[in-house]
Amino acid sequence: MTQRIQRTAGALYLGVIALGLSAELAIRMPLITWDDPAATWEAIAANTTLFRMSLLADSAMILLDIGLAVLFFTLLRRVQPELALTAMALRLMQAAVIGGSLLATVAALTLVTGELKQPEALMVMLQTHSIGYDVGLIFFGANTLITAWLLARSGLVPRWLPPLLVLAGLVYLAGSLTRLAAPSLNALMQPAYGVTILAELSLALMLSLRPRPMNLPG
């Protein structure tokens, strides 16, 4: 049963990663030029169907992440139930905040398909969504730190993976906090997000391809 849950969690995690990266990097970002509102308006107006696909991909990602939060709790509650519950609550909080910020992109699309051309207002909506995403990642960063400790105690993953997840959690926290408090420093943080992709992809692959029996310390 535990190994089946691991495989399901790994598959959901791969889906979360694929949908999240597709929505943000493959679809939305090529349409946005942050220092050129007029060009951004024209790009989105010419690709409204593509922009809608990013909304659907983000919505599907959030649904999968909710399921993943429950599966991780099911897997890790035997290690420390209170911490496992805390981690689940933090991950669900992330999903709620990101879902709420997604409404800003819905508003952006509504604006672009309307009669009045308001590029500056469009950028405010897109910026609101972007910052909301980073706020959600504060909760996810805390979740990742707790999950790393629980996984290290569970024996479900190799020993090298929890430290990598800790580093990823710290990157999420530092990136989001600098985005809010020190935007100039945030630009320097961007290459570090490669660590988060490596850590999360490694976890997803380990769970889906190499599930292990739980080995709690005595």
Q: In this structure, are residues 40 and 28 in contact, taking their beta carbons and an 8 Å threshold?
A: no
pLDDT band for position 215 (cuts 50, 70, 90): confident
pLDDT band for position 64 (cuts 50, 70, 90): very high
pLDDT of the residue at 217: 61
Contacts of 25 (CB under 8 A, 6+ apart): none
Residue-wise burial string across 88-117, b where 16 or more C-beta atoms lie within 10 A, e elsewhere: bebbbbbbebbbebbebbebbbebbeeeee
Q: Which residue carries 């007029």 as its tokens?
A: 38
Q: Poorest-confidence range of 12-21, 35-44, 209-218?
A: 209-218
Residue type, 73: F
Mean pLDDT of the chain: 94
Q: What's the rounded mean pLDDT across residues 177-194?
A: 91
pLDDT above 90 for 166: yes
pLDDT above 60 for 72: yes
- Distance separating alpha carbons of residues 71 and 79, to the nearest angstrom: 14
pLDDT above 90 for 184: no
**Torsion, CA 4, CA 59, CA 29, CA 201, rounded to 10:** -10
- Distance separating alpha carbons of residues 74 and 145, to the nearest angstrom: 18
pLDDT band for position 42 (cuts 50, 70, 90): very high
pLDDT above 70 for 179: yes
Measured from the Cβ of residue 166, the count of other Cβ atoms closer than 10 Å reads 17
pLDDT, one tens digit per residue, over 110-138 is 999 988 899 999 999 999 999 999 999 99
Reading the block at residue 71, the tokens are 């599966």
Contacts 24+ apart (CB under 8 A), 161-167: 161/199, 161/202, 161/203, 161/206, 164/195, 164/198, 164/199, 164/202, 165/199, 165/203, 167/195, 167/199
pLDDT of the residue at 218: 53
Q: List the chain domain ranges.
A: 2-209
